[in-house]
A = this chain, B = another copy of it.
Amino acid sequence: MLQKRRDLQPFLDRLTSRSRLNEQEQEAILALPSHAAQVQTNRDFVRLDQAVDHACIVVDGIVGRFGQTCEGARQITALHIPGDAPDLHSVVQPKARSVLQALTTTTILRVPHGAFRAVAARYPAVAEAFWRDCMVDAAILSQWVVNVGRRDAKTRIAHLLCEMAMRYRARPEGGEVTFDFPVTQAQLADATGLTSVHVNRTLMSLRHDGLAEVCQRRVRIMDWDGLVKVGEFDADYLQADIPSDERMRIVEAA
């Protein structure tokens, strides 16, 4: 039980980083019933058109949402890291419209839709927080369209690395920003609409420029400002780091 509360904490943190929830509401989130599961690398755990009765929360690892073309080319449309609920939207739309796959060995929590709905019905501010949370994911999606639609390979990858650094809340240590990001170059390619060969060359060019490198399943950003510039990155859309007095609540005050 205590274990589950601890596993739910990152999800609550994500919600409260943008929405204002009172003690009782936070408690209700932490008390959500859940069932932990481990998913192996490259294993789908939500399939297309599947009618689901629960939503997932990532506890550890990385989850990719996949879109596919007829030809079998895969495109990752979203990356989800611990604290994210990749299919929170399934609470209002239970038919899965895309595949969820673990990109590395991943631990997820399954929470029944009924539980989400009950807490949302009882606490309108929580329903609001869920909606807002989904909108953050949509804002990221919107950026990804720009990324794959209009930027060249170097800019694309730089942008993605900046985004992930912010989402992991990686903090500079000794002038460098470093964080674990255990994805393969092929997965990076699927996320950026490139081929793994070109990702490889682009990463080498970023390293050569002294901007960043990805190795040993870790990202090392040597020149944050430079990478931001090359990646045309503007962190606003992520809505990270909202001061606590600006976090939103549109239902009655907390």
* A binding-site residues for B, Cβ under 8 Å: 49, 65, 67-70, 73-75, 77-78, 89, 91-93, 97-98, 113, 117, 121, 124, 127-128, 130-132, 134-139, 141-146, 148-151, 155, 192-193, 232, 236-237, 239, 248, 250-251
Contact B132 A93 (CB under 8 A): yes
CB distance from A140 to the nearest CB of B (A): 10
B residues in contact with A69, CB < 8 Å: 146, 150-151, 155, 232
Q: Which of A73, A117, A138, A151 has the most CB of B within 10 A?
A: A138
Partner of A97 from the list B127, B232, B237, B248 (CB cut-off 8 Å) is B237
Q: Is the CB of A92 within 8 A of B149?
A: no
Whole-angstrom distance from the CB of A156 to the nearest CB of chain B? Answer: 10
Q: How far is the CA of A133 from the CA of B19 in the complex (A)?
A: 20
Docked CA distance A131–B117 (Å): 13
How many chain copies does the complex carry?
2
Cβ of A94 to closest chain B Cβ, rounded Å: 8
Are B67 and A143 in touch, CB under 8 angstroms?
yes
A39 → chain B closest CB, angstroms: 21
Contact of A135 among B67, B92, B236 (CB under 8 A): B92
Chain B residues in 8 Å Cβ range of A65: 142
Give 14 pairs: A residue, B residue, CB < 8 Å, sorted on A.
A67-B146, A68-B146, A73-B150, A75-B145, A75-B149, A92-B128, A93-B135, A93-B136, A93-B139, A124-B124, A124-B127, A130-B131, A138-B141, A148-B148
**Known contacts A97-B237, A134-B134; is A142 also within 8 Å of B92 by CB?**
no
Q: Is the CB of B141 within 8 A of A141?
A: yes
Chain B neighbourhood of A113, CB < 8 A: 250
Q: Which residues of B contact A68 (CB under 8 A)?
A: 146
Shortest Cβ gap from A70 to chain B (Å): 5
Q: For A130, what are the chain B residues with a Cβ–Cβ distance below 8 Å?
A: 131
Selected from B78, B149, B251, the residue in CB contact (under 8 A) with A142 is: B78
- B135–A75 contact, CB under 8 A? no
Chain B residues with Cβ below 8 Å from A121 are 124, 251
Given A75-B145, A146-B69, A193-B150 in contact, is the A89-B250 Cβ separation under 8 Å? no
Q: Which of A117, A150, A155, A236 has the most chain B CB within a 10 Å cutoff?
A: A150
